[in-house]
Amino acid sequence: MAADDAKRPPLGPFPRPGGAAERLRRPMLSLVAERLLEAAIRLSGFSAVLFVAAIFFFIFREAAPVLFSREFSLTEFLFSTRWYPTSESNVRYGTLALTLGTLSVTGIAIALAVPFGLGAAIFISEFCGPRLRETLKIVIELLAAIPSVVWGFIGLTVMNRVIIALTGAPVGVNLLNGGVILALMSVPIIVSIGEDALKAVPDSYREAALALGANRWQTVRRVLVPAARNGLLAAVLLGVGRAVGETMAVLMATGHAVRVPHSLLDSVRTLTANIAAELGEAPAGSDHYRVLFLTGTLLFLITFVVNLGADLAIRSVRRR
Amino acid sequence: MSAPVVPAVPTVPARFARTPHVARRERTEQIAKWVFFAMSVSMILPLIAIVAYLLYRAAPSLSLEFLLDVPRKGMREGGIWSAFVGTLYLVWISLAVAAPIGVLAAIYLHEYARDNWVNRLIHLAVINLAGVPSIVHALFGLGAFVYAARFGYSVLSAALTLAIMTLPVIIASTREALASVPKEFRQACWNVGATRWQTIRRVVLPNSISGILTGIILQVSRAAGETAPIMFTGAVFFKAVQRGELFPYGLNDQCMALSMHLYTVSTQVPNVKESIPYATAVVLLGSVLMVNATAIALRVWLRNRKRW
């Protein structure tokens, strides 16, 4: 205790024993507690990095044995459409059909969600009054809160019937169904990030455009959208990230066929849904199990790149 | 007094009359406005219709009895108590883990961190943690907690997986709450000689506590709705529980969960009584939306009360 006290710098310029400075000294216990708390704060700060590293480590650890085994070929894993994980004689682990499933569902979702999402973002940020704006933002926040399994259930019951009634297809859980559900799920993200991006454009831009005689639509089209380009791109990328990573909703809404989709009404399976559907049946430590972890690693890397891109886009907005 | 050169009154309206050009400009503005309005509404109206439809189909089963009763006859009849309690377990345990770490991490990021590469790395990690697909979190939970840490398929594994998954929610909203405390408050406190931690404890936290609470509430809603991360780490299709029992699970038991139960009764069990999956969906959706509405109400109340 004494040694510790000696190390501390004196409080005030002229410390006198028993003087005012002496009385201001804090009790030992509170100093130690403060040190400990600050250590905990630093540790928690780094924990996010630790967790991301741990996620990659533990997934890759389970996947590594099969990745480096001799009979496994990475080109077949990435570019073959034959996925026969439980076949007796001809086991094949080709994920191209699943990757195409993910790409097609995401593509449809984004094609639907981007115009509506950005349109709503523009409306909320530029065209509507404060009261309506608050209401819409709250509704969109609630929309974002709906759990994915409930979206999946809506796809399985409501959308299923709607699609059968509209197209006459025998089964309504398919590519189109999954795409619409995913679009509804990624719209809230696109709206909120897009609105942030538009709000970040300085008001002087709007004033300058209005002073030149532009109306609000011309201001949006010629000034705001070009100025907020990067932020809007980030909004779209985060929407893509959400759609690629979504599991339960696509598991329930897209049907279960592992094949390359040829039309909107084909049922497909995505990379995420495939893991969810097969992990329960794959015995721990088997090749099948390890290949599913390898798929997980692939998904981790894809979303990492997408999120990094979105972050770089947002960062360049802030710098300006 | 000379006669006025320009007769002012008649020409002013003439000068500001709607030329065809101005009229066209106003028309495009109106069109744009209504198109964007339609786009906003077209996301919301179907949703209201869907929720109304779910309520209508769920109506025959919805009652207090449905909530308090356990699933019977292979989940084809009865209620959802076992699943509801399981979700409460998972939410509370994951909250107990994620809330302290998340709040402290946000304090570090906002109050201690300088703008250097280490903190950009942390920032990137938080963003990435938020973007990792839920099924990848499930794989991580399986590899790390179930096998490597030997917790087995249990409430503990599932709750820890949920905690890591929902951490970014708490970090992001706590950071926002801390950022809303003006810088001058901190500077004033430092100037009277307080240390960083004393400033945080006496000035920053009291002024941002409600915002932090909002973030914690949002974490609860997120954790309650997730299915994929708990599917392979501790949630099971069925577990026998007494009707209305409050503490049916131990930390090392497997448990049922509401989200998982919805998946089970809607896809895995044949011949379920028609209204049961709908009622389960309504209870899950209702609880999540109610929790979120609380968070929103808290935020609005807070903003109206703000004095600076």
Residue by residue, DSSP assigns B80-126 as: -HHHHHHHHHHHHHHHHHHHHHHHHHHHIIIII--SSHHHHHHHHHH
Is residue A134 a part of any domain in this protein?
yes
Is residue A14 a part of any domain in this protein?
no
Tens-place pLDDT, residues A159-203:
888 889 988 888 888 889 999 999 999 999 999 999 989 998 999
Closest-CA residue of B relative to A255 is B267
Is residue B239 a part of any domain in this protein?
yes
> The CATH number of the domain where B152 resides is what?
1.10.3720.10
Closest CB to B129: pick one of A52, A119, A149.
A52
Is residue A303 a part of any domain in this protein?
yes
Tell me the residue type at A47.
Answer: S
Tens-place pLDDT, residues B33-82:
899 999 888 888 888 888 899 999 888 888 887 887 777 777 777 788 88
Is residue A12 a part of any domain in this protein?
no
Q: Say if residue B197 is in the same domain as residue B134.
A: yes
Is residue B2 a part of any domain in this protein?
no
> The CATH number of the domain where A118 resides is what?
1.10.3720.10
Q: Which residues constitute the domain of residue B46?
A: 8-58
Q: Say if residue B54 is in the same domain as residue B123.
A: no
Tokens linked to A72 = 């496994």
In 3D space, the residue among B27, B74, B76, B89 whose CA is nearest the CA of residue B255 turns out to be: B89
**CA A172 and chain centroid, separation:** 27
Q: Say if residue B12 is in the same domain as residue B133.
A: no
Give pLDDT, residue B9: 52
Is residue A52 a part of any domain in this protein?
no
Q: Say if residue B28 is in the same domain as residue B177.
A: no
Q: Enumerate the residues of chain B whose CB falls inside 8 A of the CB of residue A256.
A: none
* ipTM given for this complex: 0.86
CA distance A162 to chain B (A): 11
Give pLDDT, residue B307: 67
Report the C-alpha gap between B14 and B209 in whole angstroms: 60
Q: Is B259 helix (H, G, I), strand (E, B) or coil?
A: helix
Give pLDDT, residue A65: 87
- Top residue of A59, A125, A150 to mutate, by most chain B CBs within 10 Å, is A150
Average pLDDT of span A231-258: 88
Is residue A59 a part of any domain in this protein?
no
Tell me the residue type at B6.
Answer: V
Is residue B155 a part of any domain in this protein?
yes
Q: Say if residue B43 is in the same domain as residue B182.
A: no
The structural domain count of chain B equals 2
Is residue B47 a part of any domain in this protein?
yes
Q: Which residues constitute the domain of residue A197?
A: 83-319
Q: Say if residue B96 is in the same domain as residue B14.
A: no
Average pLDDT of span A300-306: 91
Q: Say if residue B183 is in the same domain as residue B236.
A: yes
The structural domain count of chain A equals 1
Compute the CA torsion angle A127, A130, A136, A139 (nearest 10 deg): 170
Q: Say if residue B159 is in the same domain as residue B244.
A: yes
Give pLDDT, residue B104: 93
Q: Enumerate the residues of chain A whose CB falls inside 8 A of the CB of residue B122.
A: 45-46, 48-49
Q: Say if residue B152 is in the same domain as residue B251.
A: yes
Q: Which residue has the higher pLDDT, B308 or A128?
A: A128
